[in-house]
Chains A and B, each alone.
Chain A
Amino acid sequence: MAAPSAILQSEWTKIRSVRSTIWTLALAFIVTVALGAIICLVFDNTWDSLSPDDQATFDPTNTSFVGMQLGQLALIVFGVLVIASEYSTGMIRTSLAAVPQRGSFYASKVAVAGALALVVGMATSFVVFFLGQALLGSHKAQISDPGVLRAVVGAGLYMTLLVLLCVGAAAMLRSPMLGLGILMPFFFLVSPILSVIPKVKKVAQYFPDQAGQKIMQVVPGSDSNGPYGPWGGIGIMAVWVAVALLGGYLVLRQRDA
Chain B
Amino acid sequence: MIELQGLTKRYGDRTAVDHLTFTVRPGVVTGFLGPNGAGKSTTMRMLLGLDAPTSGDVRIDGKHYAQLSEPLKHIGALLDAKSIHGGRTAYDHLLCIAQSNRIPTRRVGEVLETVGLSAVARKRSKGFSLGMGQRLGIAAALLGDPEILMFDEPVNGLDPEGIHWIRNLMKGLAAQGRTVFVSSHLMSEMALTAEHLIVIGRGRLLADTSMADFIEKNSRSFVRLRSPQPERLRDVLTAAGHTVVSTGDGAFEITGKDAAELGELAAQHQLVLHELSPQRASLEEAFMQLTAESVEYHAHGAVTPGASVPVPAAPAQQGWQHGGPPPTAPPPQQQPPQGGGQQWGSQWRNPGSGKGR
Contact = CB atoms under 8 A, between A and B. Distances in A.
A108 to B, nearest CB: 9
A100 interface: yes
Contact of B80 (A9, A14, A90): A90
Nearest to A256: B51
B83 interface: yes
A219 to B, nearest CB: 44
Nearest to B82: A90
Nearest to B140: A94
A239 interface: no
Contact of B85 (A1, A11, A85, A257): A85
Contact of B86 (A9, A89, A93): A89
A94 B83 contact: yes
Contacts of A250: none
Nearest to A89: B85
A90 B84 contact: yes
B169 interface: no
Bin chain A's interface residue count: 20 to 34
A2 to B, nearest CB: 5
B102 A2 contact: yes
A86 interface: yes
Contacts of A19: 87
Contacts of A101: 66
Interface string A1-37: 1110011011101100111100000000000000000
A13 B102 contact: no
A96 interface: yes
A18 B88 contact: yes
Contacts, number: 98
B50 interface: yes
B92 A13 contact: yes
Interface in B64-95: 65-66, 68-72, 77, 79-80, 82-89, 92-93, 95
A89 B102 contact: no
A224 B335 CA distance: 82
Nearest to A92: B83
A213 to B, nearest CB: 32
Given A98-B71, A100-B65, A6 B50 contact: no
A40 to B, nearest CB: 36
B85 A18 contact: yes
Bin chain B's interface residue count: 35 or more
Contact of A100 (B49, B83, B96, B99): B49
Interface in A97-152: 97-101
B217 interface: no
A97 B48 CA distance: 6
A13 B96 contact: yes
Interface in B35-59: 45, 48-52
A2 B70 CA distance: 5
Nearest to B125: A89
Contact of A256 (B52, B82, B92, B96): B52
A3 B102 CA distance: 8
A97 B69 contact: no
A20 B87 contact: yes
Given A3-B102, A101-B66, A94 B84 contact: yes
Given A6-B100, A18-B88, A98-B100, A93 B70 contact: no
B286 interface: no
A91 B84 contact: yes
A1 B86 CA distance: 28
Contact of B50 (A11, A17, A93): A93
B333 to A, nearest CB: 38
B101 interface: yes
B97 interface: yes
A59 to B, nearest CB: 41
Nearest to A91: B85
Contacts of A98: 71-72, 97, 100-101
Contact of B99 (A10, A85, A96): A10
B92 A17 contact: yes
Contact of A2 (B49, B80, B85, B101): B101
A89 B84 contact: yes
B45 A93 contact: yes
B99 to A, nearest CB: 4
B96 A2 contact: no
B357 interface: yes
8 contacts: A6-B99, A14-B92, A17-B88, A18-B87, A85-B85, A89-B85, A90-B80, A97-B71
Report the 6 A-B pairs with minimum CB-CB distance, sorted nearest first: A10-B100, A17-B92, A256-B51, A13-B96, A10-B99, A90-B83
Given A6-B102, A90-B84, A99-B100, 14 more contacts: A6-B101, A10-B96, A14-B88, A14-B92, A14-B96, A17-B89, A17-B96, A18-B87, A85-B85, A86-B85, A94-B97, A97-B50, A97-B79, A98-B72
